[in-house]
Amino acid sequence: MFAEKVIELIKEVDRNPDTIDQYNDEKIRQIIEEMHLLFKLNMNDANATTENRSLWTTVQVRHSALERNKRCILAYLYNRMKKIKTLRWEFGAVLPPDIRELLSDDEYQWFSKYSGNLALYMRSLGQDIGYSGIDLTENLKPPKSLFIEVLCVVDYGKLELEDGDVVMLKKNSRHYLPTSECQTLIRQGILKQIM
Amino acid sequence: MVINCQSLIQNLKINNRIFPKQKQMSTENSGYLSITDILVTTEKVPCKFLHDLPKMGFLDPSAADVDLKAGCSVEIPLWLAESLYSRRPPLVSVELPKIYKESYREILNADACAVDLHKLGQHFYELGCYVAKHDIKSEVAATLNNTYRQRFRMLLAASMSSDSINTMQPLSASERIQAADASNTERSFLTWLQRGDTPLTTANMVANHRKRKRAEMEML
Amino acid sequence: MESTEELQFSDDEEEVTAETVLKTLQSAWQNERLSPEILPHQNDMVECMLGQIQHMERNINKLSKTDLRTSIHKMEISRIKFIICNYLKTRLNKIEKYCIPILNQERQRIETDTNYLTPSEYKYAQEYVLNMENHMKNVVLNKMPGNMQVFEMNKMAEHPNLQTHVFLKANETINGVVLEDLTGEDEEIDLEEGSQHILQYKPIADLLKNGKVTLL
Amino acid sequence: MEPYEIEFIGENRIISITPNFTHDKIYLICGEFGPFRAGLPVNVPLWLAIMLKQKQKCHVIPPDWMDVEVLENIKEEEKRSRFFTKMPNEHYMVEAKLILGSAAEDVPNAPEIKTIIKDIWDIRMSKLRTSMDALMKTGGGYGRLDHLTMMEINSVKPLLPAAMDNLLRMQMKTKKTAPSLNLNSSTFSQSGSSQNT
């Protein structure tokens, strides 16, 4: 049957909505190969339609299969792009190596461009009135208190606070920190809020 | 303190301006990139070929011929059926899958809640919307509508129940998503009510990748 | 440390306080969160609030750390920052999702000076679509057979669902809102001041943009 | 929206407190509050009241409706009426949760009040579910929901609007006059030729 391989790709995206899988280079290559084969068969049959008019119908069937393959591959890419955007918002502009390697080189390039465009936009915010931009990845939840107690989950190192104090974030250490200054670290899974 | 933001006033005035009517597409988005629509259109529907199809014999697994002959009936994916049907003249006639046929319509119209759509029609509504036009008596459309309206109380029940496995069981794929969304709403309300404060948490994808990594490590 | 004094305008009798601006911004945020399509931007409100925050932050630095006011002002600033960030981020999400139709409509709106996007948002949207197109071309489209290579802008476009149902409250009495019915029997309803409804977004889109209803 | 976001909106409501400190007017962006005189009631936004309470700088004065008798009446009325009754406060749940959560000792009969408010909520929600089912049964595309509070409306999202959207979408897609949805509507053409059977 036509365009079956490409459905495996689509199911891959559908299966794991909250994580991103390794880019499936090999399958994409195979699908594009299938498309070239269908296209070649169509070229040949299209030239033969003068002798056998009913071949034209066959050409149309293959054409539909070509369109279907195209649509599914683009949907695969597009849905990965949506996930890659989420990576930018959640991990930040620098991806951990194990996440980075799940993306193809082209996808990583797209990630960098997306990240750059976003940075440019965020820097432009409030520029007219002397701001140096606003980081929209912060202030994700309504504030409840100015300070919160946190537990450090990994050995992170030094964190310099706005008032100049330096805190040493070591695994299993507890801290009482300004909420605004540890939100990002909590999102990235480095700190955990203690309730 | 006097702030000079002249444009502020203009902006307040904008609120009173009549905005020009925009031209908008009146239909739902085409869903070209929609994973759900792609999966729905992968479902097979019975079709009768109205023309010979040279070299397409493989579409019919029961036939050994190289060519597909006009008049034979084959189950093909919906995307192909839709495409062949839309040609002028149509290359196929599409028949209704059994869940949309009269015998099932009667059961559904009598008591839609008794039907296990998970088993009988994962994409009952979505597929139904595509095939409704092939129903000469146009009763499929009414059945879809009626079924959904009757079964809405199952969604209500599933969203309220703590025993999610049993109540979710007979639901179609899209009904499951709606019931799951509704029970998420209920859960986040209860969490809000019971807890003094909602803690800041690790981002979703970050947490899930951590989890997956841990699972992979444990498997080694 | 006074910030609530009236903002004055030389060419107009209208007086706008920071409090009013904050209220306007808050309802813009709420409506933006709840409407399917992108709404006209409120950049002046955002910038005015950012200015207020800046001013307030400078003043906080002059207070002693133990002054009761320090934590109160900081809390209020945090609250306003949340609104601003969430508002702008909500808009950005819509701009990304519906980038193609938004850009098409925005080009026409710019001509009549009724643009919905700020210049920065517009630039962002253009760059975003360009990156998307290039990515798809580089990765797959250019490798496909001849007539399959086209990036079909119309097919790729995702549209906001204007037929979606929304909850709203009428800020004033509005008579004769027409609810379209597929059977051809349109229904007309009146929205009395303060009344609440669930109905399709499309017939009330303009009312929302004119501030006559608020989404809930 | 998330419940904590509705809470955030509700936190702008003004309530009364009795401060135990004295301070001049405080000029906030959302308005000016005070002067604060120890022992004298003063109005502040709910978020500020909770903050001061946590710093042990005030007592919260419970709103008039946060009273067993008043609430019992509301509860009876809610049970009796087919419609939703008007609540004394459009963010009653948020206000109750915050005040009873941080300043329970300032509210007489706090545990009972908590129970009655939850009862009222449950009665209203059950009424709401019945109305939703009725609305769907009649195939409605429109509903009027006076007196429902934002938190209550939020608790039927996305279920109710999504269900109404689904019904409408199915009607639109299966409408006979509507053009059929073509998945691959482009006609085949190759090297400029566009012949067809």
Domains and CATH numbers, chain D: 3-174 (1.20.58.1020)
Q: How far is CA D172 from CA B81, B108, C148, in A?
A: 21, 21, 31
Token pair, residue D129, equals 């579910």
**CATH code (residue A115):** 1.20.58.1030
Do B165 and B176 contact (CB within 8 A), yes or no? no
CB contact under 8 A, B1 and C162: no
Q: Which residue has the higher pLDDT, B210 or D176?
A: B210
CATH number at residue B39: 1.20.58.2050
Could you please report the per-residue DSSP string of D117-152?
A: HHHHHHHHHHHHHHHHHHHHHTT-S-EE-TT--HHH
- Determine the straight-line distance between the first and last CA of chain A, rounded to whole angstroms: 56
On chain D, the residues whose CB falls within 8 A of the CB of A68 are 183-184
Does some domain include residue A138? Answer: no
Domains and CATH numbers, chain C: 1-96 (1.20.58.1030), 98-159 (1.20.58.1030), 161-216 (3.40.5.60)
- Using CA atoms, how far apart are residues D150 and B19, in angstroms rounded to an integer? 28
Count of other CB atoms within 10 angstroms of residue D176: 8
| D162 in contact with B, Cβ within 8 Å | yes
Q: Is residue B16 scored above 80 in pLDDT? A: no
C204 forms bridges with which residues in the sheet?
A: none
- When mean pLDDT is compared over A6-15, B19-28, B187-196, D92-101, the highest value belongs to D92-101
Point out the domain boundary residue: A91, A124, A157: A124
- Tell me the pLDDT tens digit for each residue of A14-64: 888 889 999 999 999 999 999 999 999 999 998 887 888 888 889 999 999
The distance from CA B82 to its chain's CA centroid, rounded to whole angstroms, is: 17
Which residues constitute the domain of residue B38? 34-95
* The two three-digit tokens of residue C85, written as one number: 């960030």
Once rounded to an integer, what is the mean pLDDT over residues B173-183? 93
Q: Say yes or no to pLDDT of C49 above 80.
A: yes
Tell whether A50 and A91 lie within a shared domain: yes
Q: Looking at this predicted complex, what is its ipTM?
A: 0.89
Q: In this structure, are A168 and A92 located in the same domain?
A: no
Q: What is the pLDDT of residues A55-97, one digit of tens each?
A: 888 999 999 999 999 999 999 999 999 999 999 999 999 999 9
Query: Quick one: which of A125, A19, B62, A7 has its CA closest to C41?
Result: A125
B214 assigned to some structural domain: no
CB atoms within 10 A of CB B151: 22
A12 shares its domain with A107 = yes
Phi-psi region of D83 (alpha: psi -120 to 50; beta: other; left: phi over 0): beta
Nearest chain C residue to D33 by CA distance is C4
D54: amino acid identity, one letter? Q
- Residues A8 and A6: their CA atoms lie apart, in Å, by 5
Residue B69 lies in a domain: yes
Do A116 and A81 reside in the same domain of the chain?
Answer: yes
Distance CA C6, CA B174 (A): 53
CB D161 within 8 A of CB D97: no
Residues of A with CB under 8 A from a CB of D: 42-43, 46, 49, 53, 56-57, 59-60, 63-64, 67-68, 71, 141-142, 145
pLDDT given at position B160: 83
Q: Which of D151, C159, B180, B208 is nearest to A19 (CA)?
A: B208
* Number of domains comprising chain A: 2
- pLDDT (0 to 100) of residue B1: 33
- Is A137 inside a domain boundary? no
* C137-181 per-position pLDDT tens digit: 999 999 999 889 999 999 999 999 999 999 999 999 999 999 987
Residue B2 reports pLDDT greater than 70 = no
Q: Does B55 map to a domain?
A: yes
Q: Decide if A86 contacts A99 (C-beta within 8 A).
A: no
pLDDT at D140: 74
Give the 3-state secondary structure of residue A191.
Answer: strand
Q: Which of A124, A156, A183 is the last residue of a domain?
A: A124
Q: Quick check: is B133 in a domain? A: no
Report residue D43 as tokens. 């109005």
φ, ψ (nearest 5 deg) of residue A13: -65, -40
Q: Residue A63's domain spans which residues?
A: 5-124
Q: What is the CATH number of the domain that holds A172?
A: 3.40.5
pLDDT digits 0-9 by tens, A104-156: 999 999 999 999 999 999 999 998 888 889 999 988 889 988 889 999 999 99
The answer to whether B73 faces chain A, any CB pair under 8 Å, is no
The answer to whether position A139 is within a domain reads no
CA distance B203 to chain A (A): 5
Contact check, Cβ <8 Å, A142/D5: yes
- CA–CA separation, A126 vs C46, rounded Å? 8
**How close, in Å, is residue D172 to chain B by CA atoms?**
8
Query: Per-residue pLDDT averaged across D136-144, rounded?
Result: 87
Q: Are residues A72 and A160 in the same domain?
A: no
CB C84 within 8 A of CB C49: yes
Is B73 part of a structural domain of the chain? Answer: yes
**Whether the predicted pLDDT of B19 surpasses 70:** no
Residues A185 and A96 in one domain: no
Residues 6 or more apart in contact with residue B147 via CB below 8 angstroms: B108, B109, B112, B115, B124, B125
Is residue A102 domain-shared with residue A154, that is, in the same domain? no
